[in-house]
């Protein structure tokens, strides 16, 4: 028997669906986890194990390492991931890792010869959901489909999962994985499509409110405890509206009131993996993610210092500002004045 642990976003869900398309793993159980919780969640596992789209968390690394090592004594472990690797996995773990592509693409490439033809659709959906559809393989596969309908399905999946990703809805997420693995598309899954429409309608109003609430420093925009909305989307909204280099959504944790969680999004002008973790580690915090999308956690009392240091670091990099919308508006060629 095989157990799959995956992330509960579009990339993680599609990764698990692809694996269940492989005949050998069609009956695998699917569970959902996150970097800080992986070590705890796998402690009772006595099966072959597949892990998808879960970054390594430095604070819980030792616990995760020891439990993977214990499981690997009697079972196979495959670890598919695209986040940076701060420390190695146990030698017995089959580590299939590549940065700059989605976890779904990694799974698709690894199991390519065991997958049905329609698996490419699921691979594309996972990559689009994680903003990683611009790789050579995904760009070539996009030619097999009509882009607008494909992106509609990806949008329905990403938005619909937001309606289904709290702790009481894991069975709903498992149902999505199962149905995708059987060849259904998000538009075929009624509750997913209906949930996506509700979220999308609500977000139109949320954004109008959010862009009146954020604050700015010289190089970054941030908002603390927004009253509603997705953390990553809010970070993108205030990034774009402010015209600055980074957008940050900061939330105080109710369960751990001395800590804050920070979601950071950028414009692909700096590698967040290179500048954020060293700053956070000065405050005994943790950080992880990708070059342009990263999350971190640190003490609430250190937040102002973190923002100040990050802002100064961005200034020191002497980033060339990208053109603004107004810069790009004028037409440059073949202009004819009207009489």
Pick the CATH number of 215-316 from 3.10.310.40, 3.90.550.10, 2.60.40.2700, 3.40.50.300: 3.10.310.40
CA distance 265 to 272: 9
Per-residue pLDDT, 103: 98
CA distance 287 to 44: 27
Does residue 165 surpass a pLDDT of 60?
no
Q: State the virtual CA torsion across 170, 44, 87, 12 in degrees, nearest 10.
A: -20
pLDDT in tens, 5-27: 999 999 999 999 999 999 999 99
Of 22, 23, 32, 2, the C-alpha closest to 176 is 32
Percent of the chain beyond pLDDT 70? 96
Per-residue pLDDT, 136: 97
Q: Helices 10-21 and 103-110, interaxial angle, to 10°?
A: 10
pLDDT in tens, 280-326: 989 989 888 889 999 999 999 999 999 999 999 999 998 988 888 88
CA distance 19 to 21: 5
Does residue 338 surpass a pLDDT of 70?
no
DSSP state, residue 163: T
Does residue 265 surpass a pLDDT of 70?
yes
- Confirm if 295 and 264 have CB atoms less than 8 A apart: yes
Of 313, 311, 281, the C-alpha closest to 299 is 281
3-state secondary structure of 58: coil
Percent of the chain beyond pLDDT 90? 80
Pick the CATH number of 2-194 from 3.40.50.720, 3.90.1640.30, 1.10.3720.10, 3.40.50.1370: 3.90.1640.30
Q: Is 67 exposed, middle or buried (0-12, 13-18, 19+ CB in 10 A)?
A: buried
Local confidence band at 87 (pLDDT 50, 70, 90 cut-offs): confident
CA distance 272 to 133: 20
Q: Helices 190-210 and 147-162, interaxial angle, to 10°?
A: 80
Domain boundaries, the chain: 2-194, 215-316
Does residue 215 surpass a pLDDT of 70?
yes
- Confirm if 20 and 125 have CB atoms less than 8 A apart: no
pTM: 0.88
Measured CA distances, 45 to 3, 95, 251, 329 (Å)? 8, 18, 33, 57
Which H or E run contains 305? helix 303-316
Local confidence band at 102 (pLDDT 50, 70, 90 cut-offs): very high
Structural tokens at position 237? 């909204």
Does residue 257 surpass a pLDDT of 70?
yes
């Amino acid at each position: 028997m095989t157990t799959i642990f995956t992330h509960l976003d579009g990339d993680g869900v599609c990764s698990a669906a692809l694996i269940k398309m492989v005949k050998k793993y069609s009956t695998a159980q699917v569970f959902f986890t996150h970097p800080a919780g992986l070590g705890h969640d796998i402690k009772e596992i006595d099966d072959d194990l597949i892990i998808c789209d879960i970054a390594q968390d430095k604070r819980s690394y030792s616990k995760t390492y020891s439990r993977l090592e214990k499981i690997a004594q009697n079972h196979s472990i495959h670890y598919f991931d695209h986040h940076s690797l701060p420390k190695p996995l146990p030698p017995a773990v089959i580590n299939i890792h590549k940065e700059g592509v989605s976890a779904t693409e990694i799974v698709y490439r690894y199991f390519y010869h065991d997958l049905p033809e329609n698996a490419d659709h699921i691979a594309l959906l996972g990559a689009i959901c994680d903003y990683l559809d611009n790789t050579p393989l995904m760009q070539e596969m996009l030619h097999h489909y009509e882009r607008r309908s494909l992106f509609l399905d990806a949008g329905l999946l990403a938005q619909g999962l937001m309606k289904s990703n709290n702790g009481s809805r894991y069975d709903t997420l498992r149902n999505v994985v199962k149905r995708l693995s059987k060849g259904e598309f998000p538009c075929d899954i009624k509750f997913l499509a209906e949930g996506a429409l509700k979220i999308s309608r609500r977000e139109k109003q949320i954004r109008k409110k959010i862009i009146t609430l954020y604050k700015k420093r010289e190089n970054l925009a941030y908002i603390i405890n927004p009253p509603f909305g997705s953390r990553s989307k809010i970070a993108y909204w205030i990034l774009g509206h402010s015209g600055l280099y980074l957008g940050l959504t900061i939330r105080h944790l109710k369960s751990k009131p001395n800590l804050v969680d920070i979601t950071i999004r950028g414009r692909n002008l700096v590698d967040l993996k290179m500048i954020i973790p060293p700053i956070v580690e000065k405050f005994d915090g943790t950080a992880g993610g990708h070059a342009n999308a990263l999350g971190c956690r640190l003490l609430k009392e250190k937040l102002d210092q973190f923002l100040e240091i990050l802002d100064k670091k961005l200034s020191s990099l002497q980033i060339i500002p990208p053109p603004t919308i107004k810069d790009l508006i004028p037409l440059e060629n073949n202009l004819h004045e009207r009489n």
